[in-house]
Structure 1
Amino acid sequence: MVRKVFVCIFISAFCVIFSACQTAGIPLKDKDLTEKNEIVETHGGLQNVERLDDFIYNVKNDKKDKVRLTRYTIEGDPIYHDLDYTDSKLTFTLDTREDEYGHGAVTKSICKGIQKQELETETNYLLTGCENEPMKGLLTIFHDVDKEDNFAFELNYGVGKKNMINTKEEKLIKDLQNGETVAVGDFQFSKKELNQIYKLLKFSNYLGDKNLTTKCNQKPHERYELNVWINSGERHFEWTECDHSSDGKEMTKLVHDILTILKKNSTYKTLGDYE
């Protein structure tokens, strides 16, 4: 009899604990919400944000899709934003159960759509036509250099890293690929160009850890070195065109996108006279 009572108590206790895990702990498993379908935002750091762009594209094309945006609080608690587009219906689920200072609840809304709004100093991801709310902010990414105490970068690139952009010292060096280089002192990007570059850095998750390599058996080969100074912090990266890892490809694309902005710069255009 005593044994039966003990077993019943144990089962009851297990059920209470299990139930608590379901309601207050880690969200229930979802086979569609894998790592590749999760976007992570941590105090300005971004991971896999391009997946959110893919989701917007799929919604516009009436294609079933599901993603999760996980945003971390200052205390390090995750808040889950689940987006599920099925049968032409967009369901938004907000889960604050792991936020110590949140409401500790799960709420759902049906929305009509999702859009990306790109401004010079910020990029907004917005849910539209949600229940009782015409516009709901999902994620805002700020890229306004004026809001930072300090922002500068140095990029050395090309064969032998003979090209250089240094906004900290306002220097520009261009390899003419004939054995000569031309240097420009007092070089500056416009505020609009700097905001564009800052945006590229944020979308490349420059604050995150990168697994890069400088190894390359190809001769000659492009080499890259990037230093970013932001407020009191500094980030340093080195890699080559032979780095075909996901991080390597992302960082090489970052360089190409920065150079696209550089080639439109009025000062850089004058260097064409040397070619």
Structure 2
Amino acid sequence: MKKRPLLFVALAICILLFGGCGKGGKFSPSYTEPNKASHNEVIDRHGQVENMERLDSFVERVQAKSKDKVRLIRYTIEGDPIYHDLDFDGTTLTLTYDTTEDKFGQGEVTSYKCKSIQKQESDTETKYTLEGCPKEYMGELLYISHDVEQQDYFAFELKYGEDKKNEIDTKEQVLTKDLPNGETMNISDFQLSTDQMNRIYKQMVYANYLQPKSLSNSCKDKSYDMYELNVWINDGERSYEWTSCDQSEDGLEMTNLAQTIVEIVEESL
């Protein structure tokens, strides 16, 4: 009888660690979601930029000669943060460059005085550059590539509308459109131009499509749109499902992405 408490302890540990040790038990490796950007932070994870609109607003305020501060955090391949603190006092823009948490960096804090910041944008790349800085600082603050032709493979499938009857599938080259009269239009061998694919890929990058999304399929409204997006890029795949009722930050961002895709595709119809 004295051995029974030890058995209970062993079972408790087993349940906590593995969610059950019998055949029905299931072990799920823990996943730590990357730190989310705060309101005044912009995070760059190897070209996937979160809260980029905050950097855009900083650019606008600098050009309007209005005081503003923002922090850009860029992560190295090893996952170490490098901080870029931007402070505009109405006349001078100060960049404080902090590599103290970069294990392979200089491990120091350096400040540079600059005159302004600019954003240059095309369908294949977006650049943020600092102007009027000392020669020892290179003016490119942030570079984002969204050139689809630099990828080995890129395709997507978007289903949308009530019961997801509409479909845009660049992988199988199929377009299905649910018409107002109840009929369905089907187009085989459907293809988008390189320009259109670049514009769509750009919007996906802007929406941080590679990052985890918290999306909802539940909806109390009687009339709502359903969305399903599958993306294939190189050897990877991403899948998302949500409805137009999802008013969360991720939900609104993904709905805006889906609507933009539909608008671009409809230009070719």
Please, what TM-score do these two structures have when normalized by structure 1? 0.82
Contact map agreement 2:156 2:171 (CA 8 A) in 1: yes
The aligned residue for residue 57 of structure 1 is 60
- Partners in 1 of 2:246 and 2:90 — Cα distance? 41
Q: What is the number of equivalent residue pairs in this alignment?
A: 233
**Alpha-carbon separation, structure 1, partners of 2:136 and 2:145:** 23
Residue 178, structure 1, aligned to residue 181, structure 2: yes
| Contact 2:72–2:85, Cα closer than 8 Å, also in 1 | yes
Of 256, 263, 267, the match for 2:266 = 263
Contact 1:212 1:239 (C-alpha < 8 Å) held by counterparts = yes
Corresponding residue for residue 192 of structure 1: 195
What secondary structure, in the 3-state scheme, does the structure 2 residue paired with 1:68 have? strand
- Paired residues of 2:70 and 2:87 also in contact (CA < 8 A): yes
Matches within 5 A, 1:129-208: 129-132=132-135, 136-208=139-211
Over 3 Å off, 4+ runs: none
Unpaired runs of 5+ residues, structure 2, are 1-36
TM-score in terms of structure 2 length: 0.83
Tell me the distance in 2 between the aligned counterparts of 1:141 and 1:231: 18
Query: What is the RMSD computed on CA atoms of the aligned residues?
Result: 1.4
Deviation at 1:134, TM superposition (A): 9.0
CA distance in 1, matches of 2:151, 2:71: 29
Greater displacement, 167-176 / 125-134: 125-134
| Alignment-mate amino acid for residue 71 of structure 1 | R
In the TM superposition, residue 72 of structure 1 has moved relative to its aligned partner by 0.7
| Cross-structure match for 1:16 | none
For residues 63-97 of structure 1, the C-alpha deviation after alignment (integer angstroms, 9 at most, x for no partner) is: 21111111111111111111111132211111111
1:95 to 90, 93, 98: 98
Which amino acid in the other structure matches residue 186 of structure 2?
A: A
Percentage of pairs with the same residue? 55
Deviation of 1:133 (Å)? 6.4
- Whether 2:74 is the aligned partner of 1:74: answer no
Classify 1:133/1:113 alpha carbon distance in 2 versus 1 (closer, same or farther; 3 Å). farther
- Give the drift of 1:171: 0.8
1:37 alignment counterpart: 40
Residue aligning to 1:21: none
SS at match of 2:66: coil
The equivalent residue for 1:214 is 217
Deviation at 1:263, TM superposition (A): 2.1
Partners of 1:113 and 1:160 lie apart in 2 by 50
Over 3 Å counting, the alpha-carbon distance change for 1:134 and 1:72 in structure 2 is: closer
Q: Secondary structure at the match of 2:139?
A: strand
CA contact (8 A) 1:129 1:135 kept: no
Deviates more, 1:115-124 or 1:243-252: 115-124
